[in-house]
Structure 1
Amino acid sequence: MSEAAAAGRPRDTRIDEAVLDATRGLVAEVGYADLTFRAIAERAGTSVPAIRRRWASKAHLVHEAVYPTDSMVAADEVRDLRAEVRAVVERCLGNVGSPHGRRATPALMSELMADHALEVELSSRLLAGGRESLAARLAESAARGESRADVDLGLFIEMVFGTTLVAIVMRGREAVDDAWVDGLVDVIVDGIRVR
């Protein structure tokens, strides 16, 4: 969300959540190109100006709706390398493979490739939310002797996201099942495990 959205009177988080929920539902139904602030406002029970005060553009709103900042964060109770990697893969699959994720991701990628400043801003937003937590978890794993201490966090995230995205495009969401998740987890864990 923009700094301007944070200024002024306190934000009503109920409006935020209603808008994000409406965005997820509508982008799954109509796709990114046909998604409008007016339709989102109607479904969320708010106004277009209220949405525009909170999000700088449709890309900003859809990015936040589809990719929450905790997308790469495993559940707090997970304390085992394999379980942590699996939790991250499942979270990513839940976002990218959801009906709204499948409809929004290609259009968002196109917008990001066409606008470098937007790409930097939105990619930074997503990474900022999960990078610190994921780095801490990988450091804990290294301290337990499960994984190498020199794991490239960016490469780890790119492998999970990129592989998940390509698998959904090439195989279809239904084929990206538990066996697929197990296979990807095996590859990642084998790559970062202490030898």
Structure 2
Amino acid sequence: MAARKQQGGRPRDSRVDEKILRTARELIDEVGYPALTVDQVAARAGVGKAAIYRRYGSKAEMAFVATMHEQSLPPWAGTGSLHGDLLALVRTYHARMAAPAARQLAPALISELAANPELDSRFQDTFMAAEQAGFAEIIEQAVARGELSGPVDPAMAHVLLLGSLASALYILNLPVDDAMVTDLATAATAGITALADRHRGDPGGAAETPAR
């Protein structure tokens, strides 16, 4: 997977990718995201700044990929149930979002996105779109199995599961363990099921996420 698709030229060196991301995580742990600079990452990783900017459009994008996930996500492994799929998904995200570097990044990045509409738009069109595509796949599979009575807006599923996880970790500062992660998946499953039932027979009720 790649955060940005290279346009022509030599293939990207995966060793350089890993150096950049590992170094970014280390520096976020050490100095915090606000004090992080691309120059610091380049110097410690032993790469040129150009190598970083060929991969990432900004410091924020580099840091997000280092701590959370890239723009393209692997397909979710189907477990055979909506709850199982959501539980596998939230466990994957919890492992990344609860890490020290992610806890350093999240509050500052949220503030930066709020102040920079262009950066926010890029994140919505890449990272958030990838996350919602994953939810759309899970919902589609659940409908096909007959677990859901109809489609649900993936954005709402995103809010119910990962929005709740982010709130618990970054706003409420709760000690999120696997028992709570399981409860979040259970609550999201119930919420998504209730939304599908509510919109059953109402073609306009479960509107898809508007195209950006």
Relative distance call for 1:109 and 1:7 in structure 2 (3 A) is farther
Relative distance call for 1:179 and 1:73 in structure 2 (3 A) is farther
Cα contact 1:72–1:92 (8 A) shared by 2: no
Structure 1 spans left out of the alignment, 5+ residues: none
Residues 66-125 of structure 1 show CA distances to partners (whole Å, capped at 9, x for unaligned) of: 221479767425222111111121122222211111000111111110111110101221
Alignment match, 1:176: 176
Cα contact 2:96–2:102 (8 A) shared by 1: yes
Cα contact 1:69–1:130 (8 A) shared by 2: no
Alignment match, 2:42: 41
Alignment match, 1:162: 163
Alignment match, 1:107: 108
The count of residues paired between Structure 1 and Structure 2 equals 193
Cα contact 1:27–1:100 (8 A) shared by 2: yes
What is the aligned-residue identity percentage? 32
Q: What pairs up with 1:77-92 in 2 under 5 angstroms? A: 77-92=78-93
User: What is the deviation of 1:24?
Assistant: 1.6
Q: Secondary structure at the match of 1:50?
A: helix
Structure 2 spans left out of the alignment, 5+ residues: 198-212
Alignment match, 2:97: 96
Q: State TM-score, norm by structure 2.
A: 0.79
Q: Does 1:191 align with 2:188?
A: no
- Paired AA for residue 88 in structure 2: A
Alignment match, 1:147: 148
* Mapped partners of 1:166, 1:137: distance in 2: 22
Q: State TM-score, norm by structure 1.
A: 0.85
Relative distance call for 1:6 and 1:148 in structure 2 (3 A) is farther
Relative distance call for 1:72 and 1:2 in structure 2 (3 A) is closer
User: What is the deviation of 1:10?
Assistant: 2.5
Residues 120-167 of structure 1 show CA distances to partners (whole Å, capped at 9, x for unaligned) of: 101221133343343122211111111232211001112222211221
* Mapped partners of 1:42, 1:88: distance in 2: 35
* Mapped partners of 1:11, 1:19: distance in 2: 13
Relative distance call for 1:119 and 1:146 in structure 2 (3 A) is same
* Mapped partners of 2:55, 2:73: distance in 1: 24
